[in-house]
Amino acid sequence: MLYVVIAFLCLAILMYLLLGGADFGAGIVELITPGAVREKVRTITYSTIGPIWEANHMWLIIAIVILFVGFPPIYTMLSVHLHIPLVLMLLGIIGRGTAFIFRHYDAVKDDMQRVYNLIFTYSSFITPFFLGVIAGAMVSGQIDPNAPDFYSAYIGSWLHLFSISVGIFTVAICGFLAAVFLIGEVEDEAIKALFIQRAKVLTFLTFISGGFVFLAAEIDGLSLTKERFTDWVSLSFLILATVCLVILWKYLRTGHKTICRLLAGFQITLILGSFGYHYFPDFIIVKSGENLSLFNSAALGLPIETLGWALLLGSLLILPSLFYLIYSFQRRPAEL
């Protein structure tokens, strides 16, 4: 049953990055959109993410519950040593959600709309940034359970070049996903061309920021580049992701909705899979002592058995409902 729980944890993380990432990315696309057409982009964003944006956080909740119940040492290490970026990420989620509701449903359209817009767009940047920072800190080897002072224990574990680079890379990924996903939501050829152009720009930024991750790893003394390019499985994933990028650029010109989305999602899955395969089963690499893995940190016995069955049975109810929700709103009459 442990492998079932691990599979659900990996699925939750992947789906949150793909669906939640595209959700956050919509704010990033709006942030880099010229003011003349920003209102039109904002309207498209409402139509696209409005019905299901809250459901995206289901995947984050599932991941947190799995860690809390099934892997207590990992949950404790994250919530203690990375509590500052975690709080900042959660504040971004709260601020973004609140601004999204108020700027869309506020009965009085006044100057506060500008405040809501600023909170929404910058929270859309802050949230994935700190999500990436947390991910980078988890594998950087800078978390020190025996840290002698506050800075080493709670700030130095994540405030370094490698974690910052992963945060920037995550922001670029989210913007890229959103731009690709939004292409199929518009009929206006001018706006569609804008999204295609933004998708290409964000693809380039994703590539550059991905290179920055490897450079930052070398500067911080991590052997990420050597390990990545000598592991044939991880290297194969990265090569295949590059091939998908070339194919995606071809279909971006046509604006083909389904193929572009599948290619973008598959490409990000390959990138995440490359990192996941390399570090598995380690979940947190610590500065001193034994790394926390999904095996040595598992609450074996009744907790894992109960959690595994709860995930299996719950998925029979939740997943069909979620997919039907997405399907039903995809069939809504086109308004744009």
Length of the chain in terms of residues written = 336
Statement: residue 169 has pLDDT above 70: yes
Within-domain flag for 148: yes
Is 145 domain-assigned?
A: yes
Residue 122 lies in a domain: yes
Q: In this predicted model, which residue has the larger pLDDT, 211 or 322?
A: 211
pLDDT at 47 over 70: no
Range of the domain at 82: 2-330
* C-alpha span between 254 and 304 (Å, rounded): 48
d(CA 60, CA 47): 23
Q: What confidence category does residue 57 fall into, taking pLDDT thresholds of 50, 70 and 90?
A: confident
Residue 74 falls in which region: left (phi positive, over 0), alpha (psi -120 to 50) or beta: alpha
pLDDT at 335: 46
Whether 336 is covered by a domain: the verdict is: no
Q: 202 and 179 in contact (C-beta within 8 Å)?
A: yes
User: What is the C-alpha to C-alpha distance for residues 140 and 136, in angstroms, rounded to an integer?
Assistant: 6
Phi and psi of 283, rounded to 5°? -110, -35
The alpha carbon dihedral of 48, 269, 176, 103 has a sign of positive
Residue 54, CA atoms < 13 Å, CB-side half-sphere = 5
Average pLDDT over residues 183-197: 77
Give the chain's domain count. 1
Q: What DSSP element (H or E) covers 284? A: strand 282-284
Model-level pTM?
Answer: 0.88
Residue 35 lies in a domain: yes
**Cβ 117 vs Cβ 103: under 8 Å:** yes
Amino acid letter, 11 = L
Closest CA to 46 of 197, 194, 196, 186: 186
- Chain segment 221-261, per-residue pLDDT in tens: 887 777 667 778 888 888 898 888 888 887 877 767 788 88
Q: Does residue 335 fall inside a structural domain?
A: no
Q: What is the mean pLDDT of residues 276-289?
A: 84
- Asked, for residue 285, whether it belongs to a domain, the answer is yes
How confident is residue 330, by pLDDT bands cut at 50, 70 and 90? Answer: low
In this structure, is residue 147 part of a structural domain? Answer: yes
